[in-house]
């Protein structure tokens, strides 16, 4: 814990990046709870929510090939500022979604915001090693993941309350303001000049250069797939909304039940980020965590099939995301340690593309199973959880090769 506090106190650039993350992600989770509940209210369809989950992922895959090249070629701080400003303006469009006939606008607005995130996130991940010493990368990523988790827990909890007390428009306005405040923090950063290396070629050649790098470095490509394996849980994230609305509904509104389960997700991920910062200072330790983290997280999500109350459901979600958080931090740190600066943007973009495609496919397939085949949500939770055992087996069997 002392290492985390020291990093925040002594590293001004990281502290500003972190402050921006706090406000923007708090606003994000206000927005998510309000948006999912709004879609359920206007459409009554899990498919509509799954479609929104796909829209919150797929644009990343669409812009990913070019965003990685741009992040490696241009000023990453300015890319993040521009992305925040556009996202802040776009989210205000959700205020216009008033009926089933205007639901399409929610998908358009979300698509614009997520496309901007496809530039912001690789730029952010690629910037961290430029402002944080190598020996503090685990701490930096633990702080970032822990902050995401804490903002999820706080934002999901408060977001449900805000939408009930003040209405959903208030949540959307808060999210817009959070992006603008984040841009101000980023503007105050002073990122060191990048080393003079060959600039990434624009267009197809830049994409091909990135793919060639990953093909030559199989260990990097394998690590870049860790989040793609964890993205199998995308089906379970849809199920959290369904469980909160249909199985463990609290009162007349779905907002409270959904908020509790999403808050549990955040609490678990926050705890996981603290734990990994204590036990995994070396690359070898990080790699050895991957297989068991997949296994335990999968078992916890499968347990949703048998829990009797929302509080037991929240407990297993917390446990699952303790280990999911470890996977996330391990992936970030290992890539930041191994990938040279001139390729970081493209590698992190490739990682996001795989994650977005897997999570979109699983979430939509889960929705089809719910709506068209009428599969019990508890059965689907078990299947999604057991699905995480596939990457667990892949990482466990060739253990010697991965840790060498």
Q: Say which residues have a Cβ less than 8 Å from residue 358's Cβ, sequence separation at least 6.
A: 228, 229, 231, 232, 234
Asked whether residue 403 carries a pLDDT value surpassing 50, the answer given is no
Tokens of 178: 């959070």
Task: Please give the residue that has the higher pLDDT: either 213 or 194.
Answer: 213
CA–CA distance, 375 with 215 (Å, rounded to integer): 40
Whether residue 53 is predicted with pLDDT greater than 50 in this model: the reply is: yes
Q: How far apart are CA 183 and CA 316, in angstroms?
A: 36
- pLDDT at 196 (0 to 100): 45
Q: What is the pLDDT of residue 203?
A: 58
User: 398 burial class (0-12, 13-18, 19+ CB within 10 angstroms)?
Assistant: exposed
Give Cα 71 distance to the centre of its chain.
Answer: 19
Residue 404 reports pLDDT greater than 50: no
Output 1 or 49, whichever has higher pLDDT: 49
Closest-CA residue to 88 (of 172, 169, 166, 20): 172
* Predicted confidence (pLDDT) per residue in 12-36, tens digit: 999 999 998 888 888 777 777 788 7
Across 185-201, average pLDDT: 72
- Which of 144-148, 160-164, 317-321 shows the lowest mean pLDDT across its residues? 160-164
pLDDT at 255: 66
Task: Report how far apart the first and last C-alpha atoms of the chain are (Å, whole number).
Answer: 29
Q: Partners of 250 in the beta sheet?
A: 253
Q: What percent of the chain has pLDDT over 70?
A: 91
pLDDT of residue 363: 83
Contacts for 251 with CB less than 8 Å, ≥ 6 apart: none
Residue 254 — very low, low, confident or very high, per pLDDT cuts 50/70/90?
low
Q: Give me the half-sphere count of Cα atoms (radius 13 Å) on the Cβ side of residue 178.
A: 21
Distance CA 204, CA 368 (A): 35
What is the 8-class DSSP label of residue 244? I
- Lowest average pLDDT, out of 84-93, 256-265, 300-309, goes to 256-265
Mean pLDDT, residues 169-177 taken together: 89
The whole-chain average pLDDT of the chain stands at 86
Contact 284, 399 (CB under 8 A): no
375 SS3 class: coil
Supply the pLDDT for residue 50: 73
The stretch 280-293 carries a mean pLDDT of 80
Given this model, what pLDDT does residue 312 score? Answer: 94
pLDDT band, residue 208 (cuts 50/70/90): confident
pLDDT, average across residues 172-176: 90
pTM value > 0.85: no
Residue 1 has pLDDT above 70, yes or no: no
Query: What pLDDT sits at residue 280?
Result: 67
Choose from 112-116, 237-241, 245-249, 359-363 the range with maximum mean pLDDT. 112-116
Q: Which of 102-106, 152-156, 218-222, 318-322 has the lowest mean pLDDT?
A: 152-156
Q: What is the mean pLDDT of residues 173-191?
A: 93
**CA trace torsion 315, 316, 319, 323 (10° rounding):** -150
Is the model more confident about 206 or about 319?
319
Residue 350: is its pLDDT beyond 90?
no
Reduced DSSP (H G I as helix, E B as strand, rest coil) percent helix, strand, coil of the chain, to 5: 85, 0, 15
Is pLDDT of 245 > 60? Answer: yes
**In the structure, what pLDDT confidence band is assigned to residue 113 with cuts at 50, 70 and 90?**
very high
Q: In angstroms, rounded to a whole number, what is the distance separating the alpha carbons of residues 365 and 361?
A: 6
Q: Give me the pLDDT at residue 212, please.
A: 86
Domains and CATH numbers, the chain: 2-188+202-403 (1.20.1250.20)
Give the pLDDT band (50/70/90) at residue 402.
Answer: very low
Percent of the residues in the chain that have a pLDDT greater than 90, as a whole number: 41
- Confidence at residue 152, expressed as pLDDT on a 0 to 100 scale: 72
Tokens of 324: 């999911």
Contacts of 299 (CB under 8 A, 6+ apart): 385
- Report the alpha-carbon distance of residue 46 to residue 36 in Å, rounded: 10
């Amino acid at each position: 814990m002392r290492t985390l506090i020291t990093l925040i106190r002594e590293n001004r650039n990281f502290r500003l990046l972190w402050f921006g993350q706090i406000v923007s992600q708090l606003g994000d989770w206000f927005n998510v709870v309000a948006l999912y509940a709004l879609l359920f209210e206007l459409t009554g369809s899990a498919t509509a929510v799954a479609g929104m989950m796909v829209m919150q992922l797929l644009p990343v895959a669409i812009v990913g090939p070019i965003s990685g090249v741009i992040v490696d070629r241009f000023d990453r701080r300015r890319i993040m500022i521009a992305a925040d400003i556009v996202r802040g303006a776009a989210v205000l469009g959700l205020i216009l979604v008033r009926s089933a006939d205007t639901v399409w606008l929610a998908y358009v607005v979300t698509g614009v915001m997520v496309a901007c995130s496809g530039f912001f996130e690789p730029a952010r991940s690629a910037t961290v090693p430029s402002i944080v010493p190598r020996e503090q990368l685990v701490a930096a990523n633990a702080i970032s993941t822990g902050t995401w988790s804490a903002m999820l827990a706080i934002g999901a909890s408060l977001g449900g309350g805000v939408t009930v007390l003040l209405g959903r428009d208030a949540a959307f306005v808060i999210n817009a303001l959070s992006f603008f405040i984040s841009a101000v923090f980023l503007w105050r950063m002073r990122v060191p000049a990048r080393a003079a290396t060959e600039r990434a070629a624009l267009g197809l050649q830049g994409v091909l250069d990135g793919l060639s790098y990953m093909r030559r470095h199989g260990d990097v490509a394998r690590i870049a797939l860790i989040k793609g394996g964890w993205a199998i849980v995308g089906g379970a994230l849809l199920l959290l909304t369904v469980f909160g609305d249909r199985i463990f509904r609290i009162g007349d509104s779905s907002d409270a039940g959904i908020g509790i389960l999403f808050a549990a997700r955040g609490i678990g991920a926050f705890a996981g980020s603290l734990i990994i910062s204590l036990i995994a200072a070396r690359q070898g330790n990080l790699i050895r965590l991957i297989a068991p983290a997949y296994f335990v997280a999968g078992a916890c999500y499968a347990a949703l099939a048998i829990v009797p109350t929302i509080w037991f459901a929240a407990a297993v979600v917390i446990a699952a995301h303790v280990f999911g958080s470890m996977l996330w931090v391990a992936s970030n740190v290992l890539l930041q340690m191994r990938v040279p600066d001139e390729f970081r943007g493209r590698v992190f973009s490739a990682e996001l593309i795989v994650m977005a495609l897997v999570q979109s496919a699983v979430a939509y397939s889960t929705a089809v199973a719910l709506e068209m085949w009428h599969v019990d949500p508890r059965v689907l939770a078990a299947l999604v959880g057991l699905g995480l055992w596939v990457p667990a087996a892949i990482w466990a069997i060739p253990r010697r090769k991965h840790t060498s």
